[in-house]
Chain A
Amino acid sequence: IHFILLFSRQGKLRLQKWYTTLPDKEKKKIIREIVQIILSRNQRTSSFVDWKDLKLVYKRYASLYFCCAIEDQDNELLTLEVVHRYVELLDRYFGNVCELDIIFNFEKAYFILDEFIIGGEVQETSKKTAVKAIEDSDMLQETVEEYMNKPAF
């Protein structure tokens, strides 16, 4: 996977994860282009779009579009499953996740993604294990008191 984008039906970006290096301006241009392509596709088309030398796999969940860019030899149907699994993880963590959850807790959405995918490849195929890792990490986060009292460096 080269990158993952989450955006709303109005085209507002909710999450962007890049697994390749590109200049900032380039990223913005790509996002604009892809958002436009996907938002203009209607219901009856397939979930795959050929774009440059990559394939875009996208799926809409409620008001959010999840879009992954994969290489030519990657399996498109499996990528749909990957997207679905990520949504399931979010759902399990937040409990009936909705777009607002992702907006207000975007850093947690990133953490969950990082427990599921590293470097563009899936690292954990068990829902239970992935969510448990996040919850344990959350436990590690200090309480306000601990935080204030712990030395910084």
Chain B
Amino acid sequence: MPAPIRLRELIRTIRTARTQAEEREMIQKECAAIRSSFREEDNTYRCRNVAKLLYMHMLGYPAHFGQLECLKLIASQKFTDKRIGYLGAMLLLDERQDVHLLMTNCIKNDLNHSTQYVQGLALCTLGCMGSSEMCRDLAGEVEKLLKTSNSYLRKKAALCAVHVIRKVPELMEMFLPATKNLLNEKNHGVLHTSVVLLTEMCERSPDMLAHFRKVRQLSSSQLVPQLVRILKNLIMSGYSPEHDVSGISDPFLQVRILRLLRILGRNDDDSSEAMNDILAQVATNTETSKNVGNAILYETVLTIMDIKSESGLRVLAINILGRFLLNNDKNIRYVALTSLLKTVQTDHNAVQRHRSTIVDCLKDLDVSIKRRAMELSFALVNGNNVRGMMKELLYFLDSCEPEFKADCASGIFLAAEKYAPSKRWHIDTIMRVLTTAGSYVRDDAVPNLIQLITNSVEMHAYTVQRLYKAILGDYSQQPLVQVASWCIGEYGDLLVSGQCEEEEPIQVTEDEVLDILESILISNMSASVTRGYALTAIMKLSTRFTCTVNRIKKVVSIYGSSIDVELQQRAVEYNALFKKYDHMRPALLERMPVMEKVTTNGPAEIVQTNGETETAVLETKPPPSGLQPANQANDLLDLLGGSDITPVIPTAPTNKPAAAGGELLDLLGDLNLTGSPVPAPAPQIAQPPFLLDGLTTQPLFNDIAAGIPSITAYNKNGLKIDFTFERSNTNPSVTVITIQASNSTDLDMTDFVFQAAVPKTFQLQLLSPSSSVIPAFNSGTITQVIKVLNPQKQQLRMRIKLTYNHKGSAMQDLAEVNNFPPQSWQ
């Protein structure tokens, strides 16, 4: 048989193929030749054939029949064979293959080979793709080579050890003795790989970390000073052509050392102190004209921000990031934004200084930069800059890619909620968002907005007018239409009476309003939920409008036979309201009361909540109890709540609004002169309520229905802690307590830690607090969530311990909380 064609020849031939089919034909022909050659156990040309096979593999063709051949090549004595064999192994023989383990013996032998390049090949292969079993078998050999004086092998052994540790973390201990004098090397390759090895060990095991922080290295000082010294030499030493990159000496090693220092200094004061100087030196002396220098600065900044550095150093770091932001190079700006995002929580004021640059980045063309700039902008919004920032962010919302719009809209709502300078501005902003990005607004934003609007009592007329105008032209954006329908339903009377103070009142007749609501009902663009809103709104207008009640009756009865089950049910129930319970209609359809709401977070929380659903942040706390059963308006809420919890009519005392469904029944029972509870309405209540439907899915209203009063658990020395409660619907033994800590003194309280203990029959889970600083003058609060499991329904008691720093001294206090309301644990 003629000699198989040479590799380069094959490559050339394949490249002349003009179509995919032609290429495939050539490849198949060659594969067949290679296969028969393999079958003949041809030693001479095996290497060439495998090389060709690897080329074809790269083009995407199957090459598994070459696996065993690679093994044979590795076992060969010829260096050329071994080289190709190991390459083939790395490409074809990963640990998922059955024959992977057969390599172990060959590698073991080659690790002890007389030629260092063969040893190198073996180490490289093991270090790139060795399986856990292989690593276990060969760890000993690697460890031996780690101690050799041959730097070529030592550096490879170090990285091989890294791979072994990644695959089999238990073997880490084994390499510990060998690390003792790794850093005494002069060879940069060994130094670099040793630092990588040490980093890997410290990252994986806190014990190792503690060990390396303390222990003295053999014949040299501790690790941190040693690293500092090496780094210093690198910076101060003169030009070294071998390791120089654009005037900087061995940047790879510098960055790795900085990274290891970061891990060593994290949460450790002593280590951090030892490295303050060198970090300052690197930060100020590194050349920033080329990417290399910036890479080092970037790593330095990350390290400074992560360890316990002094504040001057931190300011220096943020300023470097600020300079990065002004750099023309996009990569640098990207990196700066990413780092600022990480630091904005802790060094808020410093980052604020760069706000305008960050806002400019919103206009960048690069998607990743825009995203980061957006997240950072939300983190920086505060009471002072909210107007300006909102303008920019709204503009951004207008022009950004669709994938951003939902997050941006949510972020704007959050920020507006917290920092709105006036109600009107707030409403205007919401309107703007709804009209620009209406279809991207998250579903849960709708109930939140509705609640917001309800609470801005003086703005009702203005709001409904603006919303009406907005949907007049275009009612395709569902969230906008939903909010608008609801508002029109509630405040339609204000709309037609032309009472608006804030702007020119428009002249709208009742019929025009009904026109629009009807067209929403009919339109194909309206979602089922939206139609529900519209129908309910029309119904509510029956008590607010005077001339068009008949029209409303007609509309409602038409939908009594709608195909949409939800609409049908509503229509039927509304019809019933017209026919049989007309005397109750005004009461039931009365205006919604103002809902009490307590904000849960301080100013710096937006980043964390970005992307989260708004309900998580805007949790409604239950209003203090005092709802009188005679207050019919509240029955609306109860109706809502009742259907949320269970349809069962509870037998709780009548002054507790928790028995929501029962309340209505009582109401109906009272008014119904027969005196016996009317069965017909009861199942209706059990269904999702026909009023305020879109809001039922929100946990907001669960709270209201539950109506557990909140308590002040602690109030001393200006520190006040309030507890507010929620009961879980799914698990009645769980009580969720949200604590709010506020500070009425004139100085902030820092490092605030809240701890709680409960009697043995309870279980406690403490979630992480919103922050550890309580600002002075009650300007902000810390919130923290506690979950208490109380399976035996015993009376809730709690002992709390508070520690914080105030006016320069550490304060600590213990207290017992006994005034838990019965509804929180019964």
Contacts and interface: CB of A to CB of B under 8 A. Distances in A.
B367 interface: yes
Interface of A: 13-16, 18-19, 21, 23, 28, 44-50, 75-78, 80-82, 85, 103-104, 106-107, 110-111, 114, 118-119, 121-129, 133, 136-137, 140-142, 147-148, 150-153
Instruction: Across the A-B interface, give the 8 residue pairs with the lowest CB-CB distance, nearest first.
Output: A77-B295, A46-B330, A118-B159, A119-B163, A152-B43, A124-B189, A119-B127, A78-B295
B255 interface: yes
B80 A125 contact: no
Contact of B83 (A48, A50, A141): A141
B162 A119 contact: yes
Contacts of B117: 133, 136-137, 140
Contacts of B367: 45
28 contacts: A13-B58, A19-B128, A46-B366, A48-B368, A75-B298, A77-B335, A78-B295, A80-B291, A81-B292, A81-B295, A104-B8, A107-B54, A107-B83, A107-B87, A110-B87, A118-B159, A119-B127, A119-B159, A123-B156, A123-B189, A124-B192, A125-B189, A133-B117, A137-B83, A142-B78, A148-B44, A152-B77, A153-B76
Q: Which of A14, A119, A147 has the most CB of B within 10 A?
A: A119
Contacts of B193: 121-123
Interface string B230-260: 0000000000001101000011110100010
A118 B366 contact: no
B196 to A, nearest CB: 5
Given A44-B330, A137-B117, A118 B127 contact: yes
A48 B372 CA distance: 13
B155 interface: yes
A126 B242 contact: yes
Contacts of A48: 331, 334-335, 368
Q: Identify which of B196, B243, B252, B334 gathers the most chain A CB atoms within 10 Å of its CB.
A: B252
Name the interface size band of chain B: 35 or more
A75 B155 contact: no
Contacts of A142: 78-80
A28 B59 CA distance: 11
Given A106-B58, A114-B124, 7 more contacts: A21-B95, A46-B334, A46-B368, A81-B295, A106-B54, A123-B156, A129-B189
B291 A81 contact: yes
A75 B77 CA distance: 41
Given A118-B128, A118-B160, A123-B189, A78 B60 contact: no
B330 A121 contact: no
A104 B7 CA distance: 8
Contacts of A104: 8, 11-12
A112 to B, nearest CB: 12
B369 interface: yes
B294 interface: yes
A21 B77 CA distance: 29
A94 to B, nearest CB: 14
B251 A152 contact: no
A128 B242 contact: yes
A97 to B, nearest CB: 16
A46 B333 contact: yes
Contacts of B96: 21, 23
Interface of B: 7-8, 11-12, 15, 43-44, 51, 54-55, 58-60, 75-81, 83-84, 87, 90, 94-96, 115, 117, 120, 123-124, 127-129, 152, 155-156, 159-160, 162-163, 166, 188-189, 192-193, 196, 242-243, 245, 250-253, 255, 259, 291-292, 294-295, 298-299, 302, 330-335, 365-369
A46 B327 CA distance: 13
Contacts of A75: 255, 259, 295, 298-299, 302
A136 to B, nearest CB: 7
A75 B12 CA distance: 39
A126 B189 contact: yes
Given A77-B335, A80-B291, A81-B292, A111 B87 contact: yes
B242 A76 contact: no
Contacts of B331: 46-48, 76-77, 80
A104 B60 CA distance: 17
A126 B43 CA distance: 37
A77 B192 contact: no
A142 B117 CA distance: 14
Contacts of B15: 103
Contacts of B90: 110, 114
Nearest to A140: B79
B252 A122 contact: yes
A50 B372 CA distance: 11
B159 A44 contact: no
B188 A125 contact: yes
A144 to B, nearest CB: 10
A152 B192 contact: no
B77 A151 contact: yes
A74 B31 CA distance: 41
Nearest to A105: B8
A114 to B, nearest CB: 5
A55 B299 CA distance: 16
A46 B331 CA distance: 5
Contact of B159 (A78, A106, A121, A129): A121
A121 B80 CA distance: 26
A77 B162 contact: no
A14 B189 CA distance: 28
A76 B367 CA distance: 17
Contact of B192 (A13, A114, A123, A137): A123
A136 B242 CA distance: 18
Nearest to A79: B295
A153 B366 contact: no
A141 B76 CA distance: 13
A126 B335 contact: no
Given A28-B60, A46-B333, A118 B156 contact: yes
Most-contacted residue by chain B among A18, A111, A124, A136 (CB, 10 A): A124
B162 A106 contact: no
B50 to A, nearest CB: 10
A75 B334 CA distance: 12
Contacts of B368: 45-46, 48-50
A141 B96 CA distance: 31
Given A21-B129, A46-B330, A118-B160, A78 B251 contact: yes
A118 B163 CA distance: 9
A76 B333 CA distance: 12
A126 B299 contact: no
Given A119-B128, A121-B162, A137-B83, A46 B76 contact: no
Nearest to B371: A50
Nearest to A128: B242
B155 A123 contact: yes
A127 B55 CA distance: 27
B77 A82 contact: no
B128 A103 contact: no
A46, A136, A140 — which one has the most chain B CB atoms within 10 A of its CB?
A46
Contacts of A14: 58
Contact of A78 (B43, B58, B81, B252): B252
Contacts of B299: 75, 78
A104 B341 CA distance: 45
Contacts of A80: 291, 295, 331
A42 B189 CA distance: 37
A125 B191 CA distance: 10
Contacts of A107: 7, 51, 54, 83-84, 87
